[in-house]
Structure 1
Amino acid sequence: MTSSVLTPPSGTDTPPEQPRGTGRAVPAGAFRPRALLEALPLALRKFDPRVQLRNPVMFVVWVGSVVVTVAAIVDPSVFAWLVAVWLWFTVLFANLAESVAEGRGKAQADALRRTRTGTVARREDGTEVPATELRPGDRVVVEAGMTIPGDGDVVEGIATVDESAITGESAPVVRESGGDRSAVTGGTTVLSDRIVVAVTAKPGESFVDRMIALVEGAQRQKTPNEIALSILLSALTIVFLLAVVTLQPIAVYSGSPQTLVVLVALLVCLIPTTIGALLSAIGIAGMDRLVQRNVLATSGRAVEAAGDVSTLLLDKTGTITYGNRRATALHAVGVPDGELARLARLASLADGTPEGRSVVELCAERFGLPAEASAEEARAEFVPFSATTRMSGVDLAGPDGTTLAVRKGAVASVLAWLDEHGGVDPAAQERVRTIAGEISGRGGTPLVSGQVSGATATLGGAIELSDVVKPGIAERFADLRAMGIRTVMVTGDNPVTARAIGDQAGVDEVLAEATPEDKLALIRREQRGGRLVAMTGDGTNDAPALAQADVGVAMNTGTTAAKEAGSMVDLDSDPTKLIGIVEVGKQLLVTRGALTTFSVANDLAKYFAILPAMFAALYPQLGLLNVMGLATPESAILSAVVFNALIIIALIPLALRGVRFRPVSSEQMLRRNLLIYGLGGVVVPFLAIPLIDLVVRLIPGIG
């Protein structure tokens, strides 16, 4: 993800792909009441006991509904039938919660299906075959106006591609061979030029096919935390089941036997039905919130892991800084300022990189030099940048037949080149090194420019390039630090420059002059310390680190290897979005914890509704516990059952939107949840059940 000081021009002057801002708020996701009606058919299909068996808590409710229904048929009464109806409503509302969550991805899945048209692929030999017949390794030619028939990598050519069918972003992107922006997706359209694509996906296993399956929830598997919570809820259900089963013999011995309907109603109200009904919806909604951000997670496990991340690896270029370093100052050494500007301009005229263009613009703005090359300058021989020489420039024919060579590049490289061609004043060299150190200390990148004419070498001075830190990034890192998350900036810059940028951005650690092996070693070191690590990447050399990271976010513009190695793919290819992904994961965990707290507190409050009603006739002293003032035992039990069902439907919007997330520590979040959802879970039944009782007592045979 880091860029070299200068890179050779690509030959096409196209603007870089701009990152999309994610904002600071975790998107909530709109909830429409109409969605409940639209999800009703799927919810009814979920009454299948084989489906219910996947959720032990709701399976107990389903069995209880069957038992009470049979009891109402055998010994009919208004009370029995109403309890049966509301128990079935409890199961229905739980089904609705999951169905609405699954249905939220249907619209996007339908839009993705429309991209899978009957595309015809043209092979390199000119033959045309249906896209469904392509196999990995096949090479196809795609020209302007044609649809890319399958997932693959560009192996020849460069083109602009419309990926709006996948990303929703209308701005075209550049795809070219031999780089980290070579991957293309089937169903997207080539807008210009011609490319040759090597297919990498089998039919039915393309990126679009996987997206459809994931957004519809077909491949969603329970995460470890979700499984652990399900086991806990199942254990609580078993405990309450045993308690209710042993309650009947005690009641018979005491001379106050309870009916089967009352015992089932007690069981359903005491087990954690609220969180049991909403647990699956919370997980699906977490993935949906990532889809809203144009991020595809390969599983719910990845979303949950994002919430547990404690270390973030962030590339400097494009994530913490804008990435396009610009020339901001010239520092002449031993020559007039205008002479340094002349040398810097000549060395940058044929440099098509943003850095090179900015040098020409600076010289034109401050020294009035032409921004375009003259006819003579246009005939000069361009010397491209290479990792070996770490310089670029031009060679011009002088008036006396000699060659005028002008170079700009890394300090050590240019000074060594000047020494090879006659050398320059040691004092001037020392001065330029001092200036370069000062530039690096400010977080900039120093370049040096000089010329050689015949046997004479001339040192011009230093060019200062500045990389601007994105506004607000320091505040976001402060928020992450408040949540206990360490940030590590990874860059190829020298340590001095890297530290200056890191201090300005407020990161916790800097990894300078980083190689792919360094990234991998850092991730393993953090994981050995018990920390979960998240990172972004787009190149094949990033694939090992993406695979090793607990959350690896691959850029959609990157190579197929990177996308296969990561646990998420960002369709917008915005590295900054990693921070937002962590916030979505945190919000998922907070939502699950908050609703679990509310559910358990709810169950405790319902004791005061049902237990006094069951035994008040035998033990009048229990009437003191009837603090809700419920009318009769039947109305009390029925009111509790009705509340137990309605609270599920009332909490569906919260489960789908997620609890509002704030960047605070775990201790502060725990206190907040206990105060709001723990106390709220106790208070709400004390307010709602008496109101329901006022209505229930009006029913003949109940009040």
Structure 2
Amino acid sequence: MTTLSNTHKPASPDQHAAPHSSKPKKAISAGQLVAALPGAVQKLDPRLMWRNPVMFIVEIGAVLTTVLAAAEPFLGGPGESGGSAVPSSFTVGIAVWLWLTVIFANLAESVAEGRGKAQADSLRQTRTSTSATQVQDYNPETNPGAEGAQVRTISSADLTLGDVVIVVAGELVPGDGDIVWGIASIDESAITGESAPVVRESGGDRSAVTGGTRVLSDRIVVRITSKPGETFVDRMIALVEGAARQKTPNELALNILLASLSIVFLVVVLTLNPIASYSAATVSLPVLIALLVCLIPTTIGALLSAIGIAGMDRLVQRNVLAMSGRAVEAAGDVTILLLDKTGTITYGNRQAREFAPLTGVTEAELVRAAALSSLSDPTPEGKSIVDLAAERGFHRPESLAGDIVPFTAQTRMSGIDLAGGGGQIRKGAGSAVLAWVGEAGPVPEVVLAELTAEVERISRLGGTPLVVATGTASGERTVLGVVYLKDIVKEGIKERFAELRAMGIRTIMVTGDNSLTATTIAAEAGVDDFLAEATPEDKLALIRREQEGGNLVAMTGDGTNDAPALAQADVGVAMNTGTSAAKEAGNMVDLDSDPTKLIDIVRIGKQLLITRGALTTFSIANDLAKYFAIIPAMFAGVFPGLAVLNIMQLSSPASAILSAIIFNAIIIVVLIPLALRGVKYRAASAPRILGRNLLIYGLGGVIAPFLGIKLIDLVVSLLPGF
């Protein structure tokens, strides 16, 4: 772990904006059910149903019972079940409720997809074909602003990867791209829902622009980074509509398990008829089909797909776009969170509070050098240095000639080379500035000791020390002193980290600051560990090290230098304000560019997994209870001893079987809101969550059928023949 650093990272003016739809939507309404019904009926197509093995078996059973119901008037009635006659309307009732079971299952998925389609429709309105001013033979070295360059007007649909376009105030950005020259205020409300304009500029982590957004001021040159039909909006439409949602490995595994259970129960049911015949009992085919449907895990089979779609929908409601369901699931299994200090744990707008010159250097000298190196620095830190310098008597020159030295993650310092032999000024991380000074000769021990003491003092205060040094035309380089930048930890962040710790998640703060500053901020924020003076290589190495230890890692990033780590992380959340490289590398994009939302993403992922587990538990327990409704009803007439199992005291075998089938269908509709809304998640350890779910959904899954089937039986028994 390295020491002494300062990321000197600008804070986006819109990075703390609240999502426009942060309030969760109502789980379900009658209107949504009605609107989703046509889609549910269309999904009865066997070419679609076979993808859900459990419900496909139910559909086959519905077809068979429908055929039997139609044939019974010509074959002499439904016969007997377990030695008791069943009414003529029995098979018709079974057939009707089996079809309703399949439709209700499709309804759950159709409602979930319907939300995505509504969001996709609103996004389609932003995807319009516009004219684009394409630059011919663009040369970034000789004419980066494309002033007077030869251009032609084409349709945005004809733009290809790598094309360069000019966009001026009032025009729509014709396609996804990166600003290669200029700075502009852009209205992104069509994408993010935020009405406040944002600033996008070339050469930084806020250079990416999205097709369909409107330039409000100035003029920018944009290099297109997407192919036609593969823009960010196109991907959003496909994902929120569900067209690109593939089943996750966990879903596939659970589907295989459910299919296996269904096959096992199918074999069991097929063996019942020979056993019944041997016992001089008659069990009709509709009864066997009803038994099979009640025994196989239809509840979770019906809701499984809806749970996955709803999980992605909850992310979309919070302005987070997941590139796959796998990413949402991975968020639920995350054990390590990597969080940037600046803008995530702290507010990020570090302000200059003090100039601390070294012995032999006047404050005026340090103030002047720090201010001159910050005049072209657009970051809040740079501006605050100039403002503090003005308070200390610095007068801004009318013009400043020289070459600006921009800050980079590799050099960790910035500055200016003054024209006309005026010398050089550097400010930045202590180790980086000392290395620069050391290139001209060894730093005196007394200077090094005093500087180290000053840096430690500021670091213990939780501040960020910026070391300032100058160089002369003759090659001499001197350390002048330190600028104290004060940063503030966000309110409530410590409580949120404590909550994550209760979930079993370890938090690691990643910062470019030195170890002392990182230690102070880490203690104040309550993180479990930190990585100081982090370079892109350090982040990547840390992620790989944690993954090799069996952990799943999540992190956020917005710059091109974050792309390798975002790609390596199990959950990489790219900021929408960031570069195209970062958004391509991550498997989620936060449209609000709020790094703290990573915590909410983890909660949603865990809620998805818990919801699936809870409803699976309920479904299996549910099936167990239905044994006591159907098995005694089938054989009590032949084996009177089985009557002791009829603990619900159901009125007749026919009523018991039909009541179980009706309950089996209705419970799916009852649970659709829970599947869409998700089981409420409370921060707790895995054993506690498991115990709670077994108590609520396991015990509830046993009790609910007893109550539900008995109530339905009371109604069914009033029908003629039952």
TM normalised by structure 1 equals 0.89
Instruction: Check the 8 A contact 1:8/1:352 in 2, yes or no.
Output: no
Q: Distance in 2 between matches of 1:222 and 1:396?
A: 61
2:533 equivalent in structure 1: 513
Give CA-to-partner distance per residue, 1:347-367, whole Å, 9 cap, x none: 577254312332354567xxx
Instruction: Check the 8 A contact 1:6/1:356 in 2, yes or no.
Output: no
Residues 516-535 of structure 1: pairs in structure 2 closer than 5 A:
516-535=536-555
Q: Does 1:86 align with 2:97?
A: yes
Percent sequence identity is 63
Q: Does 1:581 align with 2:578?
A: no
Which amino acid in structure 2 is aligned with residue 356 of structure 1? G
Give CA-to-partner distance per residue, 1:355-408, whole Å, 9 cap, x none: 2332354567xxx656x846xx435657855556946479799xxxx9899876
Q: Secondary structure at the match of 2:256?
A: helix
Q: Secondary structure at the match of 1:313?
A: strand
How far residue 322 of structure 1 moved from its aligned partner, in angstroms, is: 1.6
Which amino acid in structure 2 is aligned with residue 625 of structure 1? L
How far residue 18 of structure 1 moved from its aligned partner, in angstroms, is: 2.8
Which amino acid in structure 2 is aligned with residue 119 of structure 1? T
Q: Does 1:106 align with 2:103?
A: no
Q: Does 1:249 align with 2:274?
A: yes
Would the alpha carbon gap of residues 15 and 275 (structure 1) be closer, same or farther in structure 2, given more than 3 Å must change? closer
Q: Does 1:19 align with 2:13?
A: no
Which of 161, 166, 169 does residue 136 from structure 1 map onto? 161
Q: Does 1:354 align with 2:383?
A: no
2:456 equivalent in structure 1: 437
Instruction: Check the 8 A contact 1:326/1:359 in 2, yes or no.
Output: yes
Query: Which 10-residue stretch deviates more, 618-627 or 629-638?
Result: 618-627
1:275 equivalent in structure 2: 300
Which of 601, 606, 617 does residue 621 from structure 2 map onto? 601
Which of 17, 31, 38 does residue 41 from structure 1 map onto? 38
Instruction: Check the 8 A contact 1:347/1:408 in 2, yes or no.
Output: no
Give CA-to-partner distance per residue, 1:443-499, whole Å, 9 cap, x none: 211235688999999987543212222222222222222222222222222222222
Instruction: Check the 8 A contact 1:327/1:358 in 2, yes or no.
Output: yes
1:227 equivalent in structure 2: 252
How far residue 239 of structure 1 moved from its aligned partner, in angstroms, is: 1.0
How far residue 550 of structure 1 moved from its aligned partner, in angstroms, is: 1.5
1:265 equivalent in structure 2: 290
2:81 equivalent in structure 1: none
Which amino acid in structure 2 is aligned with residue 564 of structure 1? E
Would the alpha carbon gap of residues 471 and 252 (structure 1) be closer, same or farther in structure 2, given more than 3 Å must change? same
Q: Distance in 2 between matches of 1:318 and 1:174?
A: 17
Q: Distance in 1 between matches of 2:158 and 2:361?
A: 67
Structure 1 residues not aligned, in runs of 5+:
none
How far residue 127 of structure 1 moved from its aligned partner, in angstroms, is: 1.6
Which amino acid in structure 1 is aligned with residue 612 of structure 2? R
1:306 equivalent in structure 2: 331
Q: Distance in 2 between matches of 1:250 and 1:505?
A: 68
Which amino acid in structure 1 is aligned with residue 634 of structure 2? M
2:79 equivalent in structure 1: none
Instruction: Check the 8 A contact 2:6/2:514 in 1, yes or no.
Output: no
Residues 219-618 of structure 1: pairs in structure 2 closer than 5 A:
219-331=244-356, 343=368, 346-347=371-372, 350=375, 351-362=377-388, 369=392, 373=395, 377-379=397-399, 384=404, 386=406, 390=413, 392=415, 430-448=449-467, 462-618=482-638
Q: Distance in 2 between matches of 1:547 and 1:416?
A: 32
Query: Which 10-residue stretch deviates more, 581-590 or 355-364?
Result: 355-364
Q: Distance in 2 between matches of 1:299 and 1:450?
A: 49
1:123 equivalent in structure 2: 134
Which of 652, 656, 664 does residue 632 from structure 1 map onto? 652
Instruction: Check the 8 A contact 2:356/2:363 in 1, yes or no.
Output: no
Which amino acid in structure 2 is aligned with residue 115 of structure 1? T
How far residue 573 of structure 1 moved from its aligned partner, in angstroms, is: 1.6
CA RMSD of aligned residues (A): 3.3
Which of 155, 165, 184 does residue 209 from structure 2 map onto? 184
Instruction: Check the 8 A contact 1:543/1:566 in 2, yes or no.
Output: yes
Which amino acid in structure 1 is aligned with residue 699 of structure 2? L
Instruction: Check the 8 A contact 2:14/2:592 in 1, yes or no.
Output: no
Give CA-to-partner distance per residue, 1:117-175, whole Å, 9 cap, x none: 23111212332111111111222111111111111222222212111111111122222
Instruction: Check the 8 A contact 1:444/1:467 in 2, yes or no.
Output: yes
Give CA-to-partner distance per residue, 1:569-597, whole Å, 9 cap, x none: 11112221111111111110000000000
Instruction: Check the 8 A contact 2:211/2:233 in 1, yes or no.
Output: yes
Q: Does 1:54 align with 2:80?
A: no
1:671 equivalent in structure 2: 691
Would the alpha carbon gap of residues 29 and 543 (structure 1) be closer, same or farther in structure 2, given more than 3 Å must change? farther
Q: Distance in 2 between matches of 1:693 and 1:161?
A: 64
Q: Secondary structure at the match of 1:378?
A: coil
Q: Distance in 1 between matches of 2:577 and 2:503?
A: 31
1:67 equivalent in structure 2: 64
- Count of matched residue positions in the alignment of Structure 1 and Structure 2: 685
Query: Which 10-residue stretch deviates more, 530-539 or 220-229?
Result: 530-539
Q: Distance in 1 between matches of 2:574 and 2:233?
A: 16
1:698 equivalent in structure 2: 718
Q: Does 1:200 align with 2:225?
A: yes
How far residue 225 of structure 1 moved from its aligned partner, in angstroms, is: 0.6
Q: Distance in 1 between matches of 2:204 and 2:693?
A: 48
Which of 656, 659, 667 does residue 676 from structure 2 map onto? 656
Q: Secondary structure at the match of 2:151?
A: coil
TM normalised by structure 2 equals 0.87
